[in-house]
Each structure stands twice: as C-alpha cells, then as structure tokens.
Amino acid sequence: MDYSHVRDVDPAVADALEGEVDRQRDTLAMIASENHVSKAVLEAQSSVLTNKYAEGYPGKRYYAGCTYADEVENLAIDRAKELWGAEHVNVQPHSGTQANMGVYLAMLDPGDKILSLDLTHGGHLSHGHPANFTGQLFDVEQYHVDPETGYIDYDELEEKAREFEPDIIVSGYSAYPRAVEWETIQDVADDVDAYHLADIAHITGLVAAGVHPSPVGVADFVTGSTHKTIRAGRGGIIMTSEEYASDVDKAVFPGSQGGPLMHNIAGKAVGFKEALQPEFEDYAQQVVDNAETLAETFQDHGLKVVSEGTDTHLVLVDLRESHPDLTGGDAEDALDSTGIVLNANTVPGETRSAFNPSGIRAGTPGLTTRGFDEKATKEVGDLIYRVVDNHDDTDVLAEVAEDVQGLTDEFGLYE
Ligand SMILES: *Cc1c(COP(=O)(O)O)cnc(C)c1O
C-alpha cells in the first residue's frame, strides 16, 4: 500500500494507515462481519468519484456532470440484479443500517409496529433496539431463538405475530449460525398482513453464491451490507419488487440521505463484478466449509457450540458450561493478545450483561479470503481452544502468538 501522499501532508494519519495494514496482515480477522476487499475495490473506493455530487438516480440527477457517476451506478445496479436476481435494486445506502432506515421510512409511520428478533438472541440494533432510532420511533415486540436448540422459535414468532399484529416483521440476523426459513416467516407475515423485511447483511455473499437460501423474491424487502461476506466495500443495498421501487428510492434520497457516496458505489460495482466470477462460488462454499470445520473442532474440544453447528460463515460458542469462570470479554482479550481478533457475544438465554456476555462469535470470511482451507482452519480452532482453556497462562499465550504469526506469514494479505 502506498500512502506517500498522505505521509507528505499528514504523517500521523499515514502512521495509523500503515499500522492498520500491518495489523490486518499480522492478525487473523475472525470478527464475523469483517472481510478483506481486493486492491481493485480499494482503488475504486478511493477514486476521484469522492469529489462528485450526484443527488438523484442515474438519468435523473440534480447536478450536471454525472456521465461517469451514472455509468458506475448503473453497473453496480445491473450487477446486483444479476447476483441476487432482484427486480429493483438501490445501491445508495451508506450502510446496512441506512438500508433498513430506507425500508422503514418507505413503508412505516412513527408509532407503527415492528416484530423482530431480540438483540441478545442474534438480532441487530436497527431492528428496534431502544438505543437506536427504530426503538425510539416504533413500537417493538421481539421473538427469540429456542434456548435449548439455538434455532429460531418459529412457533413463538407466529404467536407473537398474531397477538401483536405488526406492520413489519424483520428477519435476518447478526449472530445466527443457521439457515433462515424465509418462506415460513413470509407465510406468517402474509397471514397477519405485515410486510416482511429480510436483512441479509451478514450473508449477502453466501446468498449471492447460492450457498444459503435466498429471500429475494420471497420477502417484500431484502436489505444487505456490501462489506461482510461479499467483498464490495463498506455500504448497504436494498432489493425489492417494482411495486415498492419508487417508495424505496424516495425514502433513500431525498428521504434519509443526501448525495450518494459515488466512490463507494464504484467499489460496490467492482466487488459485485468479482462476485459474478465462478471463483466466488468456490470462495463462499469454502467459507461455510471452514465454519463447519471450526464448529467441529470446538466441539471435539468439549466447547458448547450454539445450535450444535453452523450452516453459515459463523460459529457461536457458549462458554458457560465448559468455562463457567471465563466471560466472553476475557476470552476476547486473551485471544486478541495472540493476534486472533474476534468478538464477545451474547448467547441465547444470556445470564451476563450485553457488555461482557458469555459467548464468543467467530467468522471465517476473512480467513477464507487469505486462502485458509479446512486444515488451516482446524489449526486456528485448536489455537482458539488453547487460549480459552489457558487464558491466564502467559507462556501458552506467547506460544499461540507465535503459531498465529506462522499462519499469517503463510497466508499473506495485500502483498
Ligand atoms: C451488520 C449488520 C447490519 C449493517 O450494519 P452497518 O454497520 O450499518 O453497515 C444490518 N443488519 C444486520 C443484521 C447486521 O448484522
């Protein structure tokens, strides 16, 4: 990475940027929502399109000089339609949360009712949490996963829907390791005359590659992020049918955003093109295979894996049975000290706080981008277990850090 121009102007920021390049290269990014984009996506995202105002949509802009902005946005839209098979796509949301905001603003009025999964069971802030605008503007009721099985309790969801009569049901999650039954939820939404928003932020890439069932064409609205399992740079996306197209577009601009981040839309276009190549299906399948390997490795060591496995890119571990004195936060810190970067997470039936919960969440998208296969992923699973089991033994932590360095050297990044 060349940050020489930044260095000339601002050595402090250049130091931080170069430090971050080294940090990403020398650690294992296992935060399930993170990944590493290609140099092509990085270039597009840092392009001169950051200078361009392009309020409006291709062909209907409020500014002159939008020839190339239109070209780039149309490419992003066309490729997204091809990737996910959507009738209508809006690529302007600045993030996944903004994409959700676009849908709520298009279809709901303040005071309307949202039925969504409890945050501590794997939901997302933008699905109705009191600290988020959704919890402040809307009336929110929540469904849960079955604490015994770790799977969505679809019966409870249906009961809650009948009692609460929501205006919208939100599916799609942040810490749910299993395939979601989109049709089951759509049927409930139809029965109670609610819209259905499927937020596939975490699994956009898995859905695009066909390794996870798709809600596109099932749910009324599908939102996603473009930087998690698909490597198209930070941002959001909304997919819907022609029926709701203009409501959604108006809710994004001018409803809740100003000028689109055209440089990010260029990154989306390039990342979507990469995802349309046949290799992307292999990548997505490897992400899931690696997550399964990680789950099995943890189970072989006696750790409790929520839902006894995974169908996706992530594994959720409940530490309470095997390590009752170890919090997720302490495990996160011990792992971080060895170069394994993942996050503490709440688990179904959480008994600690959301700030220092009882579980850890580990994802494989970043490792798989670096070329990790099942064998290398099993090594990482073994290392994670060693840290969890010896979290206050500095000798063990130093040995694990050396092994992590061996792996990050073997599987390079941005070379
Ligand atoms: C990550 C995530 C989002 C998007 O988050 P942003 O940080 O706003 O891009 C939205 N919904 C779910 C379920 C998520 O996990």
Which atom of ligand 1 lies nearest, measured to the CA of 175?
A: 15
Residues of the chain with CATH 3.90.1150.10: 279-410
The pair of three-digit structure tokens given for residue 257, joined into one six-digit string: 């955003």
Q: Which of 174, 203, 226, 227 most suits a substitution to test ligand 1, by most atoms within 8 Å of the C-beta? A: 174
CB of 380 shorter than 6 A to ligand 1? no
- At 66 the pLDDT is 98
Alpha-carbon torsion angle 396, 398, 404, 410, nearest 10? -120
Dihedral sign computed on CA atoms, order 143, 147, 150, 155: negative
The identity of residue 94, as a single letter, is: H
Residue closest via CA to ligand 1's atom 5 equals 96
Alpha-carbon torsion angle 7, 8, 12, 17, nearest 10? -20
Q: pLDDT tens digits, residue range 187-204? A: 999 999 999 999 999 999
- At 354 the pLDDT is 84
CB of 96 shorter than 6 A to ligand 1? yes
Residue appearing with tokens 């490795």: 297
Residues of the chain with CATH 3.40.640.10: 43-276
CB of 124 shorter than 6 A to ligand 1? yes
CA 96 / ligand 1 centre spacing (Å)? 5
- At 145 the pLDDT is 96
Q: Does domain 279-410 have CATH number 2.60.120.10?
A: no
Spans of the chain below 70 pLDDT: none
CB of 225 shorter than 6 A to ligand 1? yes
- At 415 the pLDDT is 87
Task: Report the alpha-carbon distance of residue 18 to residue 3 in Å, rounded.
Answer: 8
Q: Do the Cβ atoms of 319 and 303 come closer than 8 Å?
A: yes
Q: pLDDT tens digits, residue range 336-362? A: 999 999 999 999 989 998 889 999 999
Residues facing residue 61 across a β-bridge: 56
Question: Domain 43-276 has what CATH class?
Answer: alpha beta
Task: Report the alpha-carbon distance of residue 312 to residue 357 in Å, rounded.
Answer: 22
Burial class (CB in 10 A: 0-12, 13-18, 19+), 126: buried
Q: Is 276 annotated as a binding residue?
A: no
What is the SS3 string spanning 145-194?
ECCCCCCECHHHHHHHHHHHCCCEEEECCCCCCCCCCHHHHHHHHHHCCC
CB of 172 shorter than 6 A to ligand 1? yes
Which atom of ligand 1 lies nearest, measured to the CA of 97?
A: 8
- At 280 the pLDDT is 98
Q: Is 82 annotated as a binding residue?
A: no
CA 388 / ligand 1 centre spacing (Å)? 28
